[in-house]
Structure 1
Amino acid sequence: MLERVLPRMRPPGGRHLRTFTSLTTAGLSEAILPSLTLIALVRSAGAERSGQVIFAQSLASIWFLLCDPRPEDAAQRFVPIEQRRSGHGSALFLRLLRWDVVIGVAATCVGLLGTAAARPLGLATDEFALMLCLAIATRGAMASHGTAGAAFALADRLRDLGLIRLSCAVVSSGLTMGGLFAGGPLGYLAGQALGALVMAAVLYGRATRVLLAALGPATAHVRFPADLAGFSVKASVGTFVAGVSDSGILAVAAMLGGPSLATILKIATAPGRLYANLVIPVAAMLYPRLAQAAAEEDGRVLIRRDLVRATLMLAVAGAACLAVTLPVVNDVLGMMYGHQYAEIGTVAALILAAECVRGLVCWSNVLPLAVGRPSWRLGYLTAEGLLLLGALLTAGRIASDAFGTSLLYACGALTVAVLGVTVWITLLRRIVNEGG
């Protein structure tokens, strides 16, 4: 396979490079700016209260992962099909977007009612209940971000999406920092909630205009395709399982080792999240290309070509990132978070290495969806989530302190990443053949 693709390897064209740069800049800003606000939170509020904030955010994230039907994945697969079939792709997209907003509002209301009920039962202190309410409001405002963003992919305007995300990230971080200085941890969460609302309003309006301009006005009432529900359920469950490796891990860490362990893991995963945000645009750009190729007669060849190119380029990017970061990670973390956190540089390095390895097959998150096989993605993410959770629980049993637990977990995460890449490279031919 490599022999057929390598002679045709070439750098991305100017248009693709501009799109990648826009999305990457947005992703990096969405990773760096929250990290800076987290630094300010840890330094001003301490590990204990910061851990409570992180725990509240993790619980809110898990709740919305459970409630999210992932209409953005369904939109990118079914809207082009509807557009070719009837010319009413825009009507289908707008219906999906409105349903996403309604579900997000309903999930927010239920989450707030549940938190209000937990407080008089003694399940949460007044302050933590308020933290959780603000975190739920933030996630609720973000519920339709993904579907609105899908409009830019469908309209081939991902570069515009990157610019919008960058601007909103700057505004959101400013509101978060202002809230922290004005009201401490509660103000920090309130600023995040306000920033999420601003981004939701901007994205919703802009996405609607962009899609209508590309696909035409929504002049008809379109029913949901028969297989959309099954596709969405599998995609949603897969995304929930994937969330276990992020928000779920932090929530379990807080219950297992207290706020200190959650804070250590949150800090140690920051470099890895930064790199993940760097490679996420690759998957975002590949999704519409893969979905279109899967519908063509020679799609298998096109899919293999794009995936091999992406994997080779990401191998170079990952190696360069590790070469630059590993020698300085201890010093940087100590300087940013305080000398007491310098020792977790080893943990951060291992988790960053795991993200670099996972990044090699970042396309694994969109390939099964593009070829109409969401069960492939669901099965893999379930296995990965269970292995990561098992690694954390095992580390908690073996280690005697928070640092030891985080170090053992990082070793497990790297092992899981290597196994995952091996699985996807081995199964690539079969996945393409069954989906094509």
Structure 2
Amino acid sequence: MASTLGRAVHRIRPPGRRQLRTFASLTAAGLGEAVLPTLSLIALVRLTGSETSGQVVFAQSVAAVWFLLCDPCLENAAQRFVPIEQQRSGRGSSLFMRLIHWDVAIGVAATGAGLLALPAARLLGSVSDEFALMLALAIVARGAMASYGTAGAAFALTDRLRALGVLRTRCAVLSFGLSLGGLFLGGPLLYLAGQAAGALVMAVVFYLLATRVLVAELGPAVARVRLPPGMVAFTVKTSVGTSVAGISDSGILTLAGLLGGPTLVTILKIASAPGRFYANLAIPVAAMLYPRIIRTATAGAGRAPIIRDVMRTTLLLAAAGAATITVALPVTDAVIGMAYGPGYAHIGVVALVLLGAACVKGTVCWSNVLPLALGRPGWRLAYLLAEGVMLLGVLLVAGRTASSPFQASLCFGWGTLAVAVLGTGFWIASLRPIADLGCPDSR
């Protein structure tokens, strides 16, 4: 590994102009999807207080967990198997249309099931009328988003990630405007209604544009197609992995609501914002690497180009993470105090620790796509299961032992950083074995 790292350092070169434009577009979209909801959260906290805003966030996290359990996340299967089917039979577009239609249908079914469960919960006295309405609106919003991933895969498959970034940015602005307008007009319920309306509009736009660009590139979907061999097993593993990863995020807020109430939920939501911003810088890099690694592996070019690209990415993001922490260290308390009010300024130390965890984890952002691109989703699933158990365990211990919601959030932050360091070491050590398994003929 040391020799590989040394070669990567010597060969490292800046990304090309086209790559930078794509990265800029995806980064702008990711930051928009992180910054604009954070601005609306700031308005929500300032207008309603930590108790009510914590209930809103809790409702959104419950809805997110529900769809993580129900949504099969077919976008990874689309990115891996549509090119294979196109090369084999010329019916890649038929396979894609089948997958996206399944995604839409599953989203509608899961939304209906979630809404039907609410009256029963209300009759049992598990939720109040107001919280039931919050949950219903959050479920509708998440249900509309069910096909986003598969629709986005169409832009990756047709090498239009830059256009995807522009589209996502516009949709983020629309959702922000509707949610903020709803908040000022009618409070938390209309805030959630605005988000649901924005998600529904975005779902229609994504579907129409995604199917149009894919058909234009691969041809019309004129025939039925059988599922490629191995796709079902691949989809099961990637879907479970994505669900586990999402539960590690949304499940944290859900568990925080059960352990520490709305106050702990609000603190964690605020403190995790800087880390989410940084993660949105790393996610576009992984999105760009995914189709590139797939093309390299299917072309039989061997493992060397894959390892080279991965190590370059690791080094660049390590430098970016160090620079981010250096800039954030002296200003985080002040920024949070200005944004949410002086009473929240002390959360800055928690935010810094969670930002550090995000920077460490971001150096191996390729871990989310490398095993999938090489047809080894079991590696990702096993790691995500271990990571999710550790994070939930850290929060459980922090919530049970800490004397206050702030102390619980700080303990959780340090535990999250420790998990990130362990995970980064695991993936760097696993790079060559995964590449060997994915490209066995190159050894």
| TM exceeding 0.5 | yes
Q: Which amino acid aligns with 2:401?
A: I
Q: Which whole-Å deviations, capped at 9, do the CAs of 1:208-243 have from their partners, x for residues lacking one?
A: 111111111112111112311111111111011111
In the TM superposition, residue 316 of structure 1 has moved relative to its aligned partner by: 1.0
Superposition map of 1:39-50 within 5 A: 39-50=42-53
Secondary structure, in 3 states, of the residue corresponding to 1:142? helix
Equivalent residue for 1:190?
193
Alignment partner of 1:143 out of 146, 163, 174 = 146
Residues 347, 406 of structure 1: 8 Å contact kept: yes
> How far apart, in 1, do the equivalents of 2:47 and 2:424 lie?
40
Equivalent residue for 1:414?
417
> How far apart, in 1, do the equivalents of 2:405 and 2:213 lie?
48
> How far apart, in 1, do the equivalents of 2:86 and 2:302 lie?
20
Residues 47, 260 of structure 1: 8 Å contact kept: yes
In the TM superposition, residue 114 of structure 1 has moved relative to its aligned partner by: 0.7
Superposition map of 1:105-116 within 5 A: 105-116=108-119
Q: Which whole-Å deviations, capped at 9, do the CAs of 1:281-327 have from their partners, x for residues lacking one?
A: 00000000111112233331111011001101101111111111111
Residues 275, 354 of structure 2: 8 Å contact kept: yes
Equivalent residue for 1:172?
175
Matched, 1:128 2:119: no
Residues 275, 355 of structure 1: 8 Å contact kept: yes
Residues 83, 89 of structure 1: 8 Å contact kept: yes
Secondary structure, in 3 states, of the residue corresponding to 1:144? helix
> How far apart, in 2, do the equivalents of 1:404 and 1:260 lie?
12
Equivalent residue for 1:404?
407
In the TM superposition, residue 70 of structure 1 has moved relative to its aligned partner by: 1.2
Equivalent residue for 1:7?
10
Q: Which deviates the most, 279-288 or 391-400?
A: 391-400
Q: Which amino acid aligns with 1:199?
A: M
> How far apart, in 2, do the equivalents of 1:118 and 1:302 lie?
54
List alignment gaps of at least 5 residues for structure 1. none
Matched, 1:201 2:204: yes
Residues 44, 53 of structure 2: 8 Å contact kept: yes
Residues 51, 262 of structure 1: 8 Å contact kept: yes
Superposition map of 1:297-336 within 5 A: 297-336=300-339
> How far apart, in 2, do the equivalents of 1:57 and 1:111 lie?
13
In the TM superposition, residue 115 of structure 1 has moved relative to its aligned partner by: 1.3
- When normalised by structure 2's length, the TM-score is 0.97
> How far apart, in 2, do the equivalents of 1:330 and 1:156 lie?
41
Equivalent residue for 2:437?
434
> How far apart, in 2, do the equivalents of 1:116 and 1:238 lie?
31
Alignment partner of 1:248 out of 239, 248, 251 = 251
Matched, 1:155 2:148: no
> How far apart, in 1, do the equivalents of 2:50 and 2:204 lie?
34
Equivalent residue for 1:82?
85
Matched, 1:36 2:27: no
- When normalised by structure 1's length, the TM-score is 0.99
> How far apart, in 2, do the equivalents of 1:376 and 1:213 lie?
35
Alignment partner of 2:225 out of 205, 222, 227 = 222
Matched, 1:287 2:290: yes
Q: Which amino acid aligns with 2:152?
A: G
Residues 39, 336 of structure 1: 8 Å contact kept: yes
Equivalent residue for 1:363?
366
Residues 259, 400 of structure 2: 8 Å contact kept: no
> How far apart, in 1, do the equivalents of 2:219 and 2:422 lie?
45
Runs (4 or more) in structure 1 with deviation over 6 Å come to: none
Q: Which deviates the most, 329-338 or 223-232?
A: 223-232
In the TM superposition, residue 396 of structure 1 has moved relative to its aligned partner by: 1.3
Q: Which amino acid aligns with 1:137?
A: V
Q: Which whole-Å deviations, capped at 9, do the CAs of 1:179-204 have from their partners, x for residues lacking one?
A: 00111000110000011011111111
Matched, 1:392 2:398: no
Q: Which deviates the most, 227-236 or 132-141?
A: 227-236
> How far apart, in 1, do the equivalents of 2:30 and 2:300 lie?
34
> How far apart, in 2, do the equivalents of 1:7 and 1:248 lie?
42
Q: Which whole-Å deviations, capped at 9, do the CAs of 1:259-295 have from their partners, x for residues lacking one?
A: 0000000000000011111110000000001111122
Matched, 1:117 2:120: yes
Q: Which deviates the most, 343-352 or 219-228?
A: 219-228
* Identity level (%): 66
RMSD (CA atoms) = 0.8
Query: How many pairs align?
Result: 436
Residues 69, 243 of structure 2: 8 Å contact kept: yes
List alignment gaps of at least 5 residues for structure 2. none
Residues 152, 210 of structure 1: 8 Å contact kept: yes
Residues 244, 389 of structure 1: 8 Å contact kept: no
In the TM superposition, residue 37 of structure 1 has moved relative to its aligned partner by: 0.1
Matched, 1:376 2:379: yes
In the TM superposition, residue 129 of structure 1 has moved relative to its aligned partner by: 0.3
Residues 68, 247 of structure 2: 8 Å contact kept: no
